[in-house]
Amino acid sequence: MEVALDVGTDTSTRIAGAGDGAALDVIEAGSRVDDFDLLTGLGRGAFARVFLARQRSMQRLVAVKISHNHGSEPQTLAHLDHDHIVRVFDQRLIADDELKLMYMQYVPGGTLLGVLRRVRDTPQPLRSGRLLLDAVDEELLNRGGIRPSESRARVEIARSSWPETVAWLGRRLADALDYASRRGVLHRDIKPANVLLTAEGSPKLADFNISFNHHLRGSSPLAYFGGSLSYMSPEQLEAAHPGMPRTAADLDTRSDIFALAVMLWELLTGRRPYDDDHDAGGSDTSVERMLELRRRPVADRFVADLPPDCPAALRRVLLAALEPDRDERPATGRELAAMLGLCLDPRARDLVDPRPNSWQIRLAPWTLLVTTLAGAIGNAVAVMYNHFHNGTLIDRELTPAQSNSLDAISVFLDYPFYPLMFALLLFLCRRAILVPRGLRHGRRYEIETLARARADVLAVGDRAALVGFAGWVVAGSSFVTGLLVVGDLPPELLLHLLVTLLVCGAISVSYPFFLVTFWYVRCEYPTLLRHGHAGSPTGEDALRLRALGRRATVYLAIAASVPLIGVLTGVSFLSPGQLLLIIGPMRWLCVG
């Protein structure tokens, strides 16, 4: 395989099948080519030149890319219609079919390469969203463009910190990669020079010249394979090395995700997260050195480059996308876009990645204790109400001997059941407790296990409520059995006691649900999102969260009905004298 190299400090590129550039050199700005007046040069790549041109027939400004008649970039881009991918209008063959002219949407705001230069020239504390807008405005001024007078996107960018701006750009580019990937297209050359910016600062992915389209007849992953070495994933570097077994056909969208993460890291800090030796150029030795660096996690000294205002969520997302093992990276552009989108929501990102001194982090090792207490508190409230309410009424109707017999029956029937209920609760919550704990201790789990754990975490409150209610069904049954055995109570009082037991059951359902759900949604569910991104939320998770919200409304209605039912049953079935005996518990029930 013949390899041509274009070696530079930032753009070392290895291209398979590149042609001779002599025919391109004679084309200059100011000349006319076919239907186009070439006004000024916009850029020059390894095997192509780009001009701002006026199309005579349509009287419009377009970007014209002239390259050798190789590759399938026009056909590839013709399949893509996305807000963050440059739109191609058509192509023509020129110079006796030796060259290919592709004309496309003109994007006037420059490239991320210009933004990167400005980042390196700006002290870290002074970087913000304004930096991106200033870079775009400078390009617009140089090219005679007009800055938008009203733009919601520009207002949003201007208010953002620099890390938020980088996440904003990355989210849109990840969406573009996902769109292309779902149509069988890999870009394979993600770098700042290949990301154009609109006048509003919105990014558009360009230069698919070495991309590969699975759905394009005659397209081969080996044809024109290459990319910018500094941004390549480990597997792409292996494919670029002639002495290694991996081939271009082995690459997938996770390689583009790695390259995007390298570029975002560079935008965020001003340098890439690897100490590449640029003087070595594009030799096999240089590739081996780069590969060695990328087979290890990002070094701490590069992590220290992250700005102080960088959210922990963004740090985690970028490190996940830079994992040496592609199986540990986000699997799709959509997944990465969702993770970057989370970084733009301060409330959500602080929930998923709480501060080191937050209560979630401090209490995380005590999940089992918290679960036990959360379930016990609700049932303890119900027990106290039952004791002061029903106990007071029953003591008036029963003799001391009957009361002792009732207590003995209740102990005999209830006490063996409580440990069983506690064991059942732990069994039902086992995954929700053990998987987050394992993740915090560095364990790795299969995607299916993480998905089941997330489902279990969102159902823990319901299970605690179910176990609590089952306990009160058993307790109520034993209580009624004891009353029927030892005493002969008035029917009205017996009915009131039964309804009161239902009130206690409602307390044991609603209180544990809210306490347990609060803990698991605020602490354990974020742990599952924070670790093991390969199992990130899916559409099913969104449905479960919405369903949990609806169930919470039902439980809230149950909790709100408790005082009303308690008062109504007291007024309906008790005499004034009996009401005076339990006025304290009734008042406590209404206030609590």
Tell me the percentage of the chain whose pLDDT exceeds 90. 38
Q: How many CB atoms lie within 10 A of CB 589?
A: 23
User: Is 536:338 a contact under the CB 8 Å cutoff?
Assistant: yes
Q: How many residues does the chain have?
A: 592
Same domain, 228 and 306: yes
Q: How many CB atoms lie within 10 A of CB 519?
A: 21
Same domain, 333 and 367: no
- Per mean pLDDT, which range of 162-171, 292-301, 466-475 is the poorest? 466-475
Last residue of a domain, one of 58, 82, 104: 104
Tokens of 524: 């354990």
Last residue of a domain, one of 62, 79, 104: 104
The predicted-structure confidence for 312-342, as pLDDT tens digits, reads as follows 999 999 999 999 999 889 989 999 998 999 8
3-state secondary structure of 212: strand
Same domain, 531 and 552: yes
Q: Report how far residue 132's alpha carbon sits from residue 207's, in angstroms, rounded to the nearest whole number.
A: 21
The predicted-structure confidence for 350-381, as pLDDT tens digits, reads as follows 888 888 888 888 888 888 888 888 877 877 77
User: Is 163:73 a contact under the CB 8 Å cutoff?
Assistant: no
Residue 357 exposed, middle or buried by CB count within 10 Å (0-12, 13-18, 19+): exposed
Tokens of 217: 């007849």
Domain span including residue 280: 112-352
Tell me the percentage of the chain whose pLDDT exceeds 70. 76
Report pLDDT for 397: 63
The predicted-structure confidence for 53-64, as pLDDT tens digits, reads as follows 999 999 999 999
Same domain, 332 and 263: yes
Same domain, 443 and 324: no
User: Is 236:255 a contact under the CB 8 Å cutoff?
Assistant: yes
Report pLDDT for 547: 94
The CATH number assigned to the domain holding 147 equals 1.10.510.10
Number of domains in the chain: 3
Note the pTM of the prediction, 2 decimals: 0.78
Report pLDDT for 37: 95
Report pLDDT for 297: 93
Last residue of a domain, one of 65, 81, 104: 104
Residue burial 360-370, b: 16+ Cβ < 10 Å; e: rest: beeebeebeeb
Same domain, 96 and 121: no
Same domain, 393 and 344: no
Same domain, 166 and 294: yes
Tokens of 568: 């109504």
